[in-house]
A and B are shown apart, each in its own frame.
Chain A
Amino acid sequence: MQRYVAQRLVLLIPVMLIISAIVFSLMHLIPGDPAQVLLGFENTDPAQLEAVRRDLGLDRPVYVQYGRWLGKLLRGDLGTSVRTGRPIRTLVAEAFPFTLELATYALVLAILIAVPVGTLAGTTRSKAADGAMQTLTLFGLSLPAFWVGAMLILLFSVELRWFPVLTYPALAEAPLANLRGFFLPALTLAVPNAASIARMVRASLVAVRREEYVKVARAKGLREVVVVRRHMLKNALIPVVTLIGIVAGYLLGGSIVVEQVFAIPGVGRLGLQAIVQRDYPVLQAVVLMVTGLFVLVNLVVDIIYVLLDPRIRYA
């Protein structure tokens, strides 16, 4: 097991290298560069553009630029943002807590919604109830986040004034205000994920419903609640954990749409800005971080697997 984890961690390095090389080349393939964005619309002086390019090292071949970036990275230096001149370490450190909290909150909400809904749908004998749940989750999956977010703001913040818009105090300083402030964005982010997790819970419960051990449990005369909780869910949740892991990975990458709609200065917005501004080093840092987190979350899921299912062993 330890060896397996160590192997996976070592594998992380080539994965991140390859991803960063791909992103680096893609950024340079599309038109526009940070020097042009820096100079804006004030003039078209080619000499000035060249001078800014030289300053930023953009006059060198792409592989040289990549090599330089990599060299700095190995020394633990993420560099500075081309556009704002701020250290990227600071930018990421400022943005990540927002995304981390949003992701955690959304994941918790999604699970709290999905597991009961999915369990009900997967165990009910009523076709109508199951159909209703299916339709509901289909809606949840289909509604676009920018619409859900805007509607939640209009209803709960503007009309009812139950939740503030755009107030995100630090969790440590004002826990209650923080949870209230993040509730609507977390809910917006949770809705589609809750829907997909609920569908997975239902499907897996339906699959285990006819298993022999469920029949045995029932034959023993166990109450239905116990059958579902102890015997069915325990087995049915294993594939669900995988899905939750993937969802967690995505959420940690930051949600561009939700962060835009709710004006949360998180990782998604940082990445989006970096793309719009062609701020290459910032984008590289964001991609690197997101890739790393994604792989790590998957590793954690694999480990949880072993704990949940004694049949699984990693050699």
Chain B
Amino acid sequence: MKRSVALTFAVLMLVFVVGAAGQAQVPAPQRGGTIRVGITQEILNLDPHVATAFSSFQVMDLIYESLLRLNTRTLQIEPNLAQSWTVSPDALTYTFTLRRDATFSDGSTVDASDVKYTIDRILNPNTKSPQASFLAPVNEVTVVNPFVVRFTLKQPTASFLSLLTGPSRGIIPVNFEDKIGDPRVKALGSGPFVLAEFGPGSVRLTRNDRYWRKDAAGNKLPYADAVVYRVIPDPATLRAAVRAGEVDLIIGFGVDITAARALQGAEGLRIMSTPDLTYSLVGINDSKAPFSDVRVRQALSLAVDREQIVQVVYGGRGTVGGPIPPTLEEWKPVPAARLPFYRRDVNRAKQLLQQAGQGSGVAVKMMPIPTVPEAVQLAQVLKEQLAPAGFNVELEQVDFATFLARWRGSNFDTFVSLNGGSIDPDIHLSRHITTGGSTNVFKFSSREIDQLLDQARVSTDSSKRAEMYGRVQRLIAEQVPFLFIAYADLFAVSRTQVQGFVLSSTRTMTPLAETWLSR
């Protein structure tokens, strides 16, 4: 669903790194072959700045490149199309120097005017890019010389570099549409692969021979000749396809704990997992009685047994977490056990409801997002857990478009869904929680939290920022804009001959450039 965009100055847990790396002695990569990837979601649109479906990003990850990228293992910001950058002392001007050897797949050089064209396109209201709100801090992009481009910001924005990563900020050539036609079905980027065929139920990408990146030994990337994405909507069929060797890798929606369990021990398969930045949540309509009373929201939080949810819904493969993902130690995540209202306490929940004048019980409608199977299970478990405290939950099963419409219009009591996380706490939190935030469908508003998040956003001192995020977590736990439930582990399953693929918490497919098939 949502895409994590992100930056970190974080030093991540060792476990995290080892979990993703799968070490041992690495044999020499072999060139050639076609990597077949099975996904469940239909691929609809390949316009990097307009597409919103996760499957679109899975494909565009290999076609489009942004100025910066996240290291798939450490999640550190790294140079990409920009090889270096400087920041002015007032943190309002960022100057990027581009590498000179990057070209689009049509042979033209990626230069500063392309960068300006890209950002202008995203910000142009006619593009109607859902990404525009992320780049709102940008005041202007100017071309200094063909390989130097300068961004000026409206206000200091600590998360700024992370906003320049990922295919949704993918650099496109000047006069993009004139060159290729409709970017929803055609593509032209500087990434390791080019779009060869966009057919019904599948997308074929072939190697971009002009691609600039090389591996540590100086070999040109990518290793594979082609990558094919096959859409297999049914998760059971998807699992059967990887078992039968019809696809080499299955990843994304539908590849969850159920898949990991079903395929555990199957011959010729490798199961990968990593902690996720995406979290499950219970959205609450904070503007509507009785949830407009913070005590009712606190009671709701107290009535939930998050540990049991991790066990029952995620088969123990996940972590109960608060507003900051437990993996992002840099930002001092407060363990859930120490956050107020996070430990189940039915009696206290009842007392709070009593004080709020809701002692006779609260009727709650709960709408799980239909595209995420765990969300429905989670809602069912919640219905049971919430009952003893006096919440009488009625599940509302709606279809995807209805869910979206009601989400957007804040037309719900509560909903169960996932929020795409980010390694930058500002992007992770602000848009959902600050007053008038771009995805604050909860209609939550707290001046204290707004001020703290605003200060943290413009602070360029990362230790001060971390301290502010430490405080804001407790405030969020007390004010309960919505319920953070858990950060479930992310899974992928590959055939054992697939080498070099890294499952990243950012869910990026870019490691496929360095993936090869052993024969």
Give residues in A with beta carbon < 8 Å to B: 30-33, 36-45, 48-49, 51-52, 55, 83-86, 91, 94-95, 98, 146, 149-150, 153-154, 157-158, 161, 164-167, 260-265, 269-270, 273, 275-278
Contact = CB atoms under 8 A, between A and B. Distances in A.
B130 A84 contact: no
5 contacts: A84-B185, A165-B240, A261-B237, A265-B200, A265-B231
B421 to A, nearest CB: 13
Contact of A95 (B45, B131, B200, B234): B200
Contacts of A48: 125, 128, 130, 132
A230 B229 CA distance: 54
Contacts of A45: 133, 438
A104 B232 CA distance: 23
Contacts of B518: none
B30 to A, nearest CB: 25
Contacts of B44: 83-84, 277
Interface residues of B, number: 51
State the 6 A-B residue pairs at the shortest beta-carbon distance, nearest first. A40-B52, A32-B401, A265-B201, A42-B130, A265-B200, A85-B184
Interface stretch (B82-90, B241-249, B315-323, B352-360): B241-249
A164 B401 contact: no
A275 B403 CA distance: 14
B404 A166 contact: no
B80 interface: no
Given A45-B438, A166-B230, A276-B399, A86 B130 contact: no
Interface of B: 1-2, 42, 44-45, 50, 52-53, 125, 128, 130-134, 182, 184-185, 199-202, 230-234, 236-237, 240-241, 243-244, 246, 398-408, 420, 431, 438-441
Contacts of A33: 401, 405
Contact of B45 (A51, A84, A263, A269): A84
B234 A91 contact: no
A34 B420 CA distance: 22
B439 A43 contact: yes
Contact of B246 (A42, A167, A277): A167
B186 to A, nearest CB: 10
A277 B185 contact: no
B404 A32 contact: yes
Given A36-B404, A165-B240, A41 B42 contact: no
B240 A263 contact: no
A51 B128 contact: yes
Contact of B240 (A154, A265, A273): A154
A36 B130 contact: no
Contacts of B133: 42-43, 45
Contacts of A149: 237
Contacts of B243: 158
B264 to A, nearest CB: 15
Contacts, number: 149
A201 to B, nearest CB: 33
Contacts of B441: 44
A60 to B, nearest CB: 18
Contact of A157 (B1, B240, B402): B240
Contacts of A84: 44-45, 184-185
A157 B131 contact: no
Given A41-B1, A48-B128, A85-B184, A36 B401 contact: yes
B291 to A, nearest CB: 19
Contacts of A32: 399-405
A158 B244 contact: yes
Contact of B439 (A42, A150, A277): A42
Contacts of B438: 42-45
Contact of A41 (B128, B241, B399, B439): B439
A40 B128 contact: no
Contact of B231 (A91, A98, A263): A263
B172 to A, nearest CB: 16
Given A31-B402, A49-B408, A42 B185 contact: no
B144 to A, nearest CB: 31
Given A32-B402, A94-B199, 8 more contacts: A40-B53, A51-B128, A83-B45, A85-B182, A153-B240, A166-B246, A262-B237, A269-B201
Contacts of A157: 240, 244
Contacts of B52: 38-42
A146 B128 CA distance: 39
Contacts of B130: 39-40, 42-43, 48
B201 A164 contact: no
Nearest to B183: A85
A91 B401 contact: no
A208 B240 CA distance: 47
Contacts of A86: 184-185
B42 A273 contact: yes
Nearest to A51: B128
Contacts of B234: 146, 150, 260-261, 263
Contacts of A154: 240
A123 B180 CA distance: 67
A276 B370 CA distance: 11
B517 to A, nearest CB: 18
